[in-house]
Amino acid sequence: MRITAVIIRILRQFFRDKRTLGLMIVAPMLILALMNVVFAAQETNIKIGVVGEVQSLVESFESENMNVILIDSEEEGRKRIADSEIEALLTKGKIVLEGSDPSVNKAILLKLQKVNLPDQNNELPFEVEYAYGSESMEMFDNIGPFLIVFFVFFFVFLIAGVSFLRERTSGTLERLMATPIKRWELVIGYVAGFGIFTLIQSSIIVLFTIYILDIQMAGNLISILLVTFTVAITALTLGTLLSAFARNELQMIQFIPLVVVPQVFFSGLFSIEAMPSWLQKVSLVMPLTYAGEAMKDIMIRGKGLEEIYSYILLLFGFSLLFILLNIRALKKYRPT
């Protein structure tokens, strides 16, 4: 009888907390549906540029699910590789691979073997050149840049949200709001205070990954630190914003499957180009989309700030938007 009473009490708690109940049902279905769409579309149609005499093999390439692009010169082809428009460039006696994704490199070489070597002992009659990376590049070198920004984003989002929530539930926020401090001053103060610790955290993670795990690093360390810190500020401002809509730590954690997990699919761990067009548009509102691309451009392709500054500006734009929304959300505690 007493066990029954406990069971009834727990069930009542769940039914009273509509957010938890809905999340237990909706979130898994949402993530599974997203995974179904993403993984079902992961057969990438490889884009390969061809120059000169090898253009006669276009039909053979297309039969191997390669999207062939006719290119006038090798110089033009290399520019298209730099702009991420093609994954490889095939000229007479040479194949130039974009090189940043080892799995794509292997797939291209395998398809070329099928096209060109029906009876040549499986030896590729091309010199293989890598625009970025190298033959020894490992999978971790490819996904490492995305993992850095993801873990920074995840832990800063969680810690900042829970910490700001505790400020509110403990009464500290109400006491601060009773002082002459303005709402925007309070938000900026919290962001700056947490920002100091996020800067330290970001620096430690980046240095550990580069110098201890020995991940490939073709670009500038300062650029990496700047991108990582910008990602941390974005996560910080988003975490403090969403904490205004949570009543306890459990509800704050409930935002993770809805806000953080979907961004994994758009951070660069999976090919966005292989996704349906409508899903690619969703990636435009995901901060980790821009953070992942910026990190890959720096760490693998060796690009500088002048080439990835647009990604940093977009991340700062997200942060500014979240700050403004946070200031507005504090209106329920004090209208001015």
Distance from C-alpha of 107 to C-alpha of 66, rounded to nearest angstrom: 10
Distance from C-alpha of 288 to C-alpha of 286, rounded to nearest angstrom: 6
Of 7-21, 153-167, 220-234, least confident by mean pLDDT is 7-21
**CATH at 75:** 3.40.190
* CB-based contact 62:20 (threshold 8 Å): no
> Over pLDDT 90: what percentage of the chain?
10
Do 119 and 161 reside in the same domain of the chain? no
In sequence order, what are the beta bridge partners of 94?
A: 91, 127
pLDDT of the residue at 105: 81
The residues near 254 (Cβ < 8 Å, ≥ 6 apart) are 19, 20, 23, 27, 246
Q: Which of 77, 108, 130 is the last residue of a domain?
A: 130
Do 315 and 192 reside in the same domain of the chain? yes
pLDDT of the residue at 291: 92
At 119, the pLDDT band (50, 70, 90 cuts) reads: very low
pLDDT in tens, 16-48: 766 666 666 676 677 667 666 666 655 566 788
Do 115 and 157 reside in the same domain of the chain? no
pLDDT of the residue at 335: 55
Q: Total domain count for the chain? A: 2
Do 147 and 294 reside in the same domain of the chain? yes
Whether 27 is covered by a domain: the verdict is no
Distance from C-alpha of 216 to C-alpha of 110, rounded to nearest angstrom: 24
Extract long-range pairs of 115-120: CB within 8 Å, 24+ residues apart: 115/57, 115/60, 115/61, 115/63, 115/64, 116/57, 116/60
> Over pLDDT 70: what percentage of the chain?
79
Do 207 and 326 reside in the same domain of the chain? yes
- The better pLDDT of the pair 190, 156 is held by 156
Cα dist from 153 to 55, 166, 256, 272, whole Å: 45, 20, 11, 20
Do 226 and 100 reside in the same domain of the chain? no
What SS3 state is found at 330?
helix
Residue 118 in this model has a pLDDT that exceeds 50: no
pLDDT of the residue at 64: 60
pLDDT in tens, 248-267: 787 788 888 888 888 887 77
Q: Which of 96, 130, 164 is the last residue of a domain?
A: 130
Q: Which of 73, 103, 130 is the last residue of a domain?
A: 130
Distance from C-alpha of 87 to C-alpha of 182, rounded to nearest angstrom: 52
pLDDT of the residue at 284: 85
pLDDT of the residue at 226: 92
Helices (H) then strands (E): counts for the chain: 14, 5
Diameter of the chain measured on Cα atoms: 85
Whether 162 is covered by a domain: the verdict is yes
Whether 26 is covered by a domain: the verdict is no
Do 122 and 162 reside in the same domain of the chain? no
Average pLDDT, the chain: 79
Whether 7 is covered by a domain: the verdict is no
Distance from C-alpha of 270 to C-alpha of 264, rounded to nearest angstrom: 8
Do 309 and 230 reside in the same domain of the chain? yes
pLDDT of the residue at 21: 65
- The better pLDDT of the pair 92, 239 is held by 239
Residue 218 in this model has a pLDDT that exceeds 50: yes
pLDDT, mean of residues 277-305: 86
Q: Which residue is listed with tokens 């500006």?
A: 313
Whether 83 is covered by a domain: the verdict is yes
Whether 13 is covered by a domain: the verdict is no
Label residue 169 exposed, middle or buried (CB < 10 Å: 0-12, 13-18, 19+): middle
For 109, the domain range is 46-130
Whether 241 is covered by a domain: the verdict is yes
Do 216 and 237 reside in the same domain of the chain? yes
Whether 36 is covered by a domain: the verdict is no
Do 125 and 170 reside in the same domain of the chain? no
pLDDT, mean of residues 127-141: 79
Extract long-range pairs of 100-104: CB within 8 Å, 24+ residues apart: 100/132, 100/133, 100/142, 100/296, 100/300, 100/301, 101/142, 102/133, 102/137, 102/138, 102/139, 102/141, 102/142, 103/139, 103/142, 104/44, 104/46
Do 263 and 193 reside in the same domain of the chain? yes
pLDDT, mean of residues 268-293: 80
- Expressed in angstroms, the distance from the first to the final Cα of the chain is 54
DSSP state of 53: G
Helix H, strand E, coil C: the string for 63-81 is HCCEEEEECCCHHHHHHHH
Do 63 and 84 reside in the same domain of the chain? yes
